[in-house]
A and B are shown apart, each in its own frame.
Chain A
Amino acid sequence: MYESLVEITGLEIFAAFVSAAMPVAFLVPFVIIAVYLERKVSAHMQDRLGPMRVGYHGLLQTIADFFKLIQKEDIVAEGIDKKFFNFAPFLVFAGSYAVYAALPFSSKYIGSETDLGIFYIIAISGLVVAGILMAGWTSNNKYSLYGAMRSAAQIISYEIPTALVILSIIMWTGTMSLATMSEMQTAYFWNWNILGGPEWGITKFVLIPFLLVAFIILYVSTLAEVNRTPFDMPEAESELVAGYHTEYSGMKFAMFFLAEYGNMFAVSAIVSVIFFGGYQSPFGYLGNTLGIEWLVPFEQVFWFAAKGIFFVFVQMWLRWTLPRVRVDQLMTICWKYLIPYSFVNLLVIGIITLL
C-alpha cells in the first residue's frame, strides 16, 4: 500500500498519511453501523423494536445522533484538571487506533509489516489504560475515579490470560506477525487454527480440544479487556453513573464511544486472525476461480470485516444475555480459572509442538 502510493505520487509524507488513515475509512462507518446494530440487537432481544423513526427502520439514527453530538455544548466543570481532561479522550482513541497498525485487512493492506504484530498490540493497549486512568483522575469525580480504577485493574488482570493464550499460539505457529499467521491458514476453513492448522496429521486432531479451550479463554479475556458486559464494571450504570466518562460531553464523549467500538472490532479481528484465518476466505476465492486477480484483496477485506463483525455481534449478544458479574467474581474468574487453565494449555500445546 505505502510503497505503491510512493510510486504513484512520489510523495513519501502523503503516502504515509494516506496509508495510516486507511483504517479510519473503515472504522467510522463501522462504528456508525455497530451503534445502530447494538440498539437493534438489544431491542429485538428484549422484544422491542428499537429506533424506527429516522429512515427505514431507523437506519439513519446513528447519523442523526452524530450530528446531535457535534452540536452539543462541551461542558468542562469547575475543579477539573483541564489540560489532561481534554487530552484523555484522544489518548484513549490513539491507543485503540494504534492497534489497527498491525491488523492485516488483506494480503495487500497492513499498516506496518513488522514481525512483532501481536506483541506490539499487547503492548500498545497499555495506552488505553493510561488514558482511562487520566480521564478518571482529572474528572475530579469519585464515580469517575472508581470507574477508572476498576477498568485499569480489570484490563491489567485480564491481560495475563490473553498474553498466555497468545504465547501458546505463537509457540505453535512460530510467528508473531498477524499477516504471516493469516497466510498460514490459507484457502479453506479446515486449515484454520481453531481446527488444528494447515498441517495434516495426528497432531491436528490432538490439538483441536486445546485450541478450543484457548479460543474460549482468549474470547472471554478480550471481552473483559474492552470493558463489555458481563465485565462492564467500569461503566456500570446502576452503580457508577457512567464510570470514567461521567464528566465528558459532546464530541469528547463521542471519542470514548469511538474508541470503545474501535476496540471491540480490534479484539474481534485479533480473535479471528488467530483462530479463524483472518482475511482468508473459508471456501476459496471467487477471483481465483474466475481468473480476476484484482478481486482477491477485496474479497479478503470482505471476509476480514465479516468475521470481525460476527464476533462483535457475539459480544452484543452476550451483553444482552448475561448479567453483570461482581468485582470479586470478576477477579475470581480471571485469577482462579482463566490463568491456571491457560497455563496448562500453554504447557500442553508446547509439548505437542515439540513432539
Chain B
Amino acid sequence: MNLYDIIFYLFALVTIVSGFFVVTSKNIVHAAFNLLFTFFGVAGLYVLLGADFIAVVQILVYVGGILILLLFGVMLTNKVVNVDIRAGAGHILPAVIGIGILWGALTAMIAFKTNWIENPAPEMNPTTAGIGNLLITDYVLVFELLGILLLIALIGAASIARRETEELKD
C-alpha cells in the first residue's frame, strides 16, 4: 500500500459514494451537489492514470461549467425544486432478476474473458503538448467541425435570448 494506492482508493471512494447519493437523493439540489464530488473524484482518477490535461478539462467543463449551469437552472426554476423525485423502488422482484442476470453476465465477461494487461503505474509525463500537436495535425478536421458546432450553438443561444426580449418590449 503506497501513496499512489491510498490516493486511488480515496478518489474511488469519493466517486462511488457520491455517485450513490446522486442516484438515491430525493432532493434534486442535493443530487446536483453530490454530482460535484463525483466529477471531482473522476478527475482525480484521470490524474492517477497520467492524463493530466483531461483531468483539468474535466474539472473546467463539468465542475466549472455544466454543474454550475445545472445548479443555476435548478435553483431558478421554482417548480423543479419542489418536485419530489421518485427514488424509491417499485417492481423489486423483476428488477432484481433482470439486473442480476445482466450484472452477472457482464461481471463474468469482465472477470473471465478479459486479457488483463498489467502495467506498472504510468509515469507522470506532461501530455498537453502531445494533445495540442494531434489536435492540429491528425484530428484537425474534427477539431474545426467541433469549433463550428459550438459557434452554431452560441449563435443559437444568443438569437433565442434576443427574440424573447423583443417580445417583452411589444
A190 contacts B by Cβ under 8 Å: no
**Which one of A13, A124, A126 has the highest number of Cβ atoms from chain B below 10 Å of its Cβ?**
A126
B57 contacts A by Cβ under 8 Å: yes
In the assembled complex, the CB of B112 is this many whole angstroms from the nearest CB of chain A, namely: 36
Among A129-159, those with CB < 8 Å from B are 129-130, 133-134, 137, 145, 149, 152, 156, 159
In the assembled complex, the CB of B153 is this many whole angstroms from the nearest CB of chain A, namely: 16
Contact with A114, one of B6, B67, B126 (Cβ below 8 angstroms): B126
A126 touches B64 (CB 8 A): yes
B68 touches A123 (CB 8 A): no
B65 contacts A by Cβ under 8 Å: yes
B75 touches A123 (CB 8 A): no
Among B26-59, those with CB < 8 Å from A are 29-30, 33, 36, 40, 52-53, 56-57, 59
B116 contacts A by Cβ under 8 Å: no
Which residues on B sit within 8 Å (CB–CB) of A127?
40, 59, 63
In the assembled complex, the CB of A174 is this many whole angstroms from the nearest CB of chain B, namely: 10
Known: A16-B3, A115-B128, A145-B75. A125 touches B52 (CB 8 A): no
B71 touches A130 (CB 8 A): yes
Among B116-131, those with CB < 8 Å from A are 126, 128-129
Q: Which residue of the partner chain A has the closest CB to B76?
A: A149
B151 contacts A by Cβ under 8 Å: no
Known: A134-B33, A137-B75, A176-B128. A129 touches B52 (CB 8 A): no
Query: How far, in angstroms, from A16 to B56 measured CA to CA in the complex?
Result: 21
B60 contacts A by Cβ under 8 Å: yes
A347 contacts B by Cβ under 8 Å: no
In the assembled complex, the CB of B9 is this many whole angstroms from the nearest CB of chain A, namely: 14
Contact with A126, one of B52, B53, B68, B128 (Cβ below 8 angstroms): B68
Contact with A133, one of B56, B75, B129 (Cβ below 8 angstroms): B75
Chain B residue total in the interface (Cβ 8 A): 26
Which residues on B sit within 8 Å (CB–CB) of A125?
64
B71 touches A133 (CB 8 A): yes
The number of chain A residues touching the other chain, given as a range, is 20 to 34
Q: Which residue of the partner chain A has the closest CB to B71?
A: A133
A119 touches B56 (CB 8 A): yes
Known: A12-B3, A84-B33. A129 touches B75 (CB 8 A): no
Contact with A116, one of B33, B56, B63, B76 (Cβ below 8 angstroms): B56
Contact with B68, one of A84, A119, A129 (Cβ below 8 angstroms): A129
Query: How far, in angstroms, from A16 to B3 measured CA to CA in the complex?
Result: 9
Q: Which residue of the partner chain B has the closest CB to A114?
A: B52
A120 touches B56 (CB 8 A): yes
B2 contacts A by Cβ under 8 Å: yes
Which residues on B sit within 8 Å (CB–CB) of A159?
64
A122 contacts B by Cβ under 8 Å: yes
Q: Which residue of the partner chain A has the closest CB to B60?
A: A123
Query: How far, in angstroms, from A10 to B2 measured CA to CA in the complex?
Result: 13
Query: How far, in angstroms, from A152 to B56 measured CA to CA in the complex?
Result: 20
Among A103-130, those with CB < 8 Å from B are 114-116, 119-120, 122-127, 129-130
Which residues on A sit within 8 Å (CB–CB) of B30?
81, 84
Q: B62-89 interface mask toward A, CB cutoff 8 Å, 1 = contact, 0 = none?
A: 0111011001100110000000000000
Q: Which 4 A-B pairs have the closest CB atoms?
A: A126-B64, A123-B60, A115-B126, A123-B59
A–B Cβ pairs within 8 angstroms, 21 of them: A12-B2, A13-B6, A81-B30, A84-B30, A114-B126, A115-B129, A116-B126, A116-B128, A123-B57, A123-B59, A123-B60, A123-B64, A124-B59, A126-B65, A127-B59, A129-B68, A133-B71, A133-B72, A149-B72, A149-B76, A159-B64
